[in-house]
Amino acid sequence: MGFESRRWSDELYSQIQFTGCHTDSGITKSTDVQMWRDIPFQPDDSYDTKTFTACFGSGTSNGEWTDLGSGMKNVYFQIMKIGGTTFGPQLSVNSVSVDTTKADG
């Protein structure tokens, strides 16, 4: 898969929200999303992976990462699997949002 989002600065918490997911196959109903910390000139640190299913159709899926540690860092998410496989259909999402305020504020 390999799609990486833009980077943003965060301290403790990030929530990713997908609304209106669909694939070119029309039958896939899940996607795995992983959070990463961008570390220049070194391998990036990975955090846990969330499986989004509710966004398929017109619904919304949320993934929350609360274990990002202290201190400002650049984070991003990556699509790891679509339909349980790394070699599958292409994913389209109508709306993607990032919320960093729950634990930081």
Range of the domain at 18: 8-99
Whether residue 105 lies inside any domain: the answer is: no
- In the prediction, which pLDDT does 13 show? 87
pLDDT, tens digit, 9 for 90 and up, residues 25-61? 888 899 999 999 999 999 999 999 999 999 998 899 9
pLDDT at 78 over 60: yes
pLDDT at 69 over 80: no
- Using pLDDT thresholds of 50, 70 and 90, give the confidence band for residue 104: very low
In this prediction the pTM is: 0.87
Residues 6+ apart with CB under 8 A from 32: 49, 50, 51, 52, 79, 80, 81, 82, 84
Whether residue 104 lies inside any domain: the answer is: no
Count the domains in the chain. 1
pLDDT at 85 over 80: yes
